[in-house]
A and B are shown apart, each in its own frame.
Chain A
Amino acid sequence: MNADCLAELSDVSKRFGKLVALDGLNLEVRPAELLAVLGPNGAGKSTAISLMLGLRQADSGSVRLFGQPPQNIASRRQIGVMMQDVTLAPELRVREQIDLVASYYPDALTAEDAMRMTRTLPLARRPYGKLSNGQKRQVQFAMAVVGRPKLLFLDEPTVGLDLPSREMMWAMLRELIREGSSIVLTTHYLEEAEALADRVVVLAKGRTIAAGTVNELRSLVGRKRITCTTSLTAEVIAAWPEVQTVCRDRGRLHITASNADTVVKRLAIADGDFQDLEVHNAGLAEAFTELTQADTTQTELTQTDLTQEVAS
């Protein structure tokens, strides 16, 4: 057990019948960091989080929340939670929902302060059931922070939010980190993880397949993004060996390539008049796609090898 960790999964396995949800997973949440946990559907993200929250028991391995089993209520008094699939009592007003959660903590903010900080004060007297989906997410966020938690678990916090609200929530998350909180974020919006995360863990089939900063993850994959305007068709470029993907968007071609220099040289030869050239490092989205695809291919190869070994 690492004494600095706020939450830790050590060599944790969890099965649901024949399905292996977690397979010897190690995961730790450090002080004042935003950890983004990414992975395709069924990768084990939700199971990992539910173990850290004490909602499930691990089959093997150790789960610690502030050095204690997560079922320990004193540990949970240091966390805030925002879940994705939860319907709160529609009859209660926003202020009442937040006040109820505040009563669970020893040193909580008042409901009014939590609403002021999360810009939900104008909703205070509205029944929760009458709010839009985006407003409900904002209220759930207020409920997550009202206990002044050291560690926040946020599951898809910005789903349903419009752009200004999303940016406002990002600013609040950065403020929380600056003030010393830690956040575990699960999201399908990779640009969200890219914009906010200090560290990213990519899960697949219940295991960690990559972990590090966003830049470290980007550098794990050698891809670059090339954008240009050219008379060449996407089909012609897609046939070049270095090119992974090509798509045309409003007259511009977006190319992902393993060797950008060679592709640019080919472009210059094939179409001397190509314009508006931009070359970027691959984003987290490309890294995520390559990592998870590589993991799938690896698994398929391993399974093929095993089948061949058994056959021989």
Chain B
Amino acid sequence: MSATTFAIENVPRSNEMTSAKLWRAYLTETKYECLRALRAPAFAIPFLLLPIVLYVLFGVFLAGSMSHGDATVAKIMFVNWSVFGVMGPGMFGFGMFVAMEREQGLLTLKRALPAPPGGYLLSKMIMATLFSAIVMSTLVAAAAAIGHPGLSFGQYLGIAVLDMLGSLPFGAVGLFIGTRASAKAAPAFANLAYLPFMHLGGLFYPLPRSVQPLEFISPAFYLDKLGLRLVGAPSLDQLAIAAGGPSSHVSSAAQVAVLAAVTLICTTLAIRRLARVG
């Protein structure tokens, strides 16, 4: 090919993508979305390091020393910190990046270009799931090495898969925020959802009776309950009930349904907004 020609004419062209080329477009979009997130230190470092550091400090050493190495407490800590670990990449990965890219015109450019349908959101979803997988692998390694929750390989795998899927509703909430907030406001709004979700999810302490009705608004609450059931451990609420405190009961099917509904509703609203306004 000559260095001075753009080869615009005299080359047979089709306007249709073969399925192989369409697959390549989705894969390329996903590859570069993951690369850019991994190369963004302000995003990658906190969300990859914070869960493992906090789990080891509070879930392993502090809780282990307070419970004198109780295996049930070790299970609860592993499951709860796993939920914490997958919340961030979804909510902030979508919330901040989408808001920023909307404001900076990148989304408009992608809408003008023949980017594959849904590729933008799909690549972000896979990026958030990949981050969750990295977080989960560090947590599983730390738990097996020093946490000693006494889980089988299948239970470790089950929690990892559950929480990777469980990052999706948080991603959907982040996406919803990212399609509505400005780039400057998005982190604040994401925190406004992230912090209550985390604390109302009952991840760190049993909730007092007066606050307990609010735990139902947190997707973290439902994801945590599913994880605890998988490893056969009680929740912090249930531990507290043994000591005279309150507890909430929701069936597993209802927990899955709520997480799916949050994902579906937030994603649908966000897609409609993106298609209409960009």
Contact = CB atoms under 8 A, between A and B. Distances in A.
B15 interface: yes
Interface string B15-36: 1111001001100110010011
- Scoring B9, B106, B109 by chain A CB atoms within 10 A of each residue's CB, the highest score goes to B109
B190 to A, nearest CB: 19
B8 A89 contact: no
Nearest to B38: A91
Interface in A134-175: 145, 147-150, 153, 172, 175
A116 interface: yes
A176 interface: yes
A302 to B, nearest CB: 35
A77 B25 contact: no
B6 A89 contact: no
B35 A99 contact: no
A274 interface: no
A117 interface: yes
B111 to A, nearest CB: 6
Interface string A51-84: 0011100000000000000000111111101010
B112 to A, nearest CB: 4
B112 A148 contact: no
B204 to A, nearest CB: 33
A104 interface: yes
Contact of B8 (A73, A81, A83, A148): A148
Interface in B137-190: none
Q: Is the interface of B mostly helix, strand, loop or mixed?
A: loop
B109 A106 contact: no
- Scoring A55, A77, A86, A103 by chain B CB atoms within 10 A of each residue's CB, the highest score goes to A103
A179 B5 CA distance: 8
B114 A105 contact: yes
Interface residues of A, number: 44
Nearest to A177: B8
B268 to A, nearest CB: 19
A148 B4 CA distance: 14
Contacts of A176: 6, 8
A88 interface: yes
A87 interface: yes
Nearest to B104: A87
Contacts of B18: 106
A306 interface: no
A150 B108 contact: no
Interface of A: 53-55, 73-79, 81, 83, 85-89, 91-92, 96, 99-101, 103-107, 109, 113, 116-117, 145, 147-150, 153, 172, 175-176, 179-181
